[in-house]
Amino acid sequence: MSAEPQFLSFKGLKQYSPEAGWGQVHTLNTATTPPPVPDNVPTLTETPEPELDPTAPGFNESMDVLFEKLRASPNDQLTQTWRTIAAEVNLLTQRMALQRELQERLRRIDQDLSDLRSTILHHLQDVEQAAHQQLSTARHRADMSALAQSKLAAKLNADR
């Protein structure tokens, strides 16, 4: 196994090398070795300080003033207004989320109320049918009782 880094090799995949230019990945990997990376290369977070001529007249004073202005946080009205707007947008977003949640809860409660009304009406219909059945049975018993009473009275009057 070679000591150089392995790359994925796809047909048409190209790689740039400062010595060889653009070339196929498999030909560049076998033909050249990448140059070593120096140890003192700065990263993106480590930027070197620009070289300025500190002997120029007024350099230190103007640079000190400039850096002081850059370090100071802006306190102008526009910045404060944007901070206020950002805070209000955050609050608006929170309230809108709460509103959606409450609307969903209200929709579920409305559905529950509708289901309860339907259930109550169904139970009332059951009660009405039972009461109607009892009333019908009571009328039938009353009719039977009246018929039995008239037949018994007729029989008793005939025996006399």
Q: Please report how many Cα atoms fall inside a 13 Å half-sphere around the Cα of residue 60, on the Cβ side.
A: 2
Q: Please report how many Cα atoms fall inside a 13 Å half-sphere around the Cα of residue 9, on the Cβ side.
A: 10
**H runs (alpha helix) in 3-76:** 25-31, 59-71
The secondary element (H helix, E strand) that includes residue 16 is: strand 14-17
Say which residue the tokens 């120096």 belong to: 38
Domain segments of the chain: what residues? 77-160
- Tell me whether residue 40 is exposed, middle or buried, using C-beta atoms within 10 angstroms of its C-beta: 0 to 12, 13 to 18, 19 or more: exposed
Give pLDDT tens digits for 121-134: 999 999 999 999 99
pLDDT of residue 158: 84
Percent of the residues in the chain that have a pLDDT greater than 90, as a whole number:
42
The tokens for 134 are: 């009892």
pLDDT of residue 28: 45
- Tell me whether residue 25 is exposed, middle or buried, using C-beta atoms within 10 angstroms of its C-beta: 0 to 12, 13 to 18, 19 or more: middle
pLDDT of residue 68: 77
Cα–Cα dist 118/43, whole Å: 71
Q: In terms of pLDDT, which residue wins out, 63 or 91?
A: 91
DSSP three-state, residue 63? helix
Mean residue pLDDT across the chain: 79
